Amino acid sequence: MSENVDSGDASEAFKKVFEKGTDAQRDFLNKFSTIQQDVVQNFFSMLQSLTYYNAMFKTTVQTGGRISIPEAERKALRIEDGDLVQVILIPIGKKPKGINSK
């Protein structure tokens, strides 16, 4: 048994399927983009809350794993020798080999 399919009907059916696929992809990308924007917004909100009452600065890890808190931040936060502080580390890069810091 063979059915005769009008080429116009097949073409219309293909167009509809193609449009539905395109719409599904567009919806997916819109939702994915929204999720990415939310993640970035939440990340920056978290960073902002961390620095609202605190300080954020870059420093170099020294011999023995020591780091220094810059004087301006120590003064602003009234940190003195012997005070207990919370440190949150986010590695941002490695020092190129052969470059001495001064």
Instruction: Name the residue range of residue 22's domain.
Output: 7-76
Number of domains in the chain: 1
Residue 24 has pLDDT above 80, yes or no: yes
85 located within any domain: no
101 located within any domain: no
Q: Which of 30, 100, 88 lies closest to 57, judged by CA? A: 88
What are 46-51's contacts with CB under 8 Å, separation 24+? 50/88
pTM of the model: 0.41
31 located within any domain: yes
98 located within any domain: no
Taking phi first (over 0 means left), then psi (-120 to 50 degrees means alpha), and beta for anything else, what does residue 65 get?
left
26 located within any domain: yes
1 located within any domain: no
Give the pLDDT of residue 46: 80
pLDDT tens track for 40-84? 988 888 877 766 667 778 888 899 999 999 998 899 889 999 999
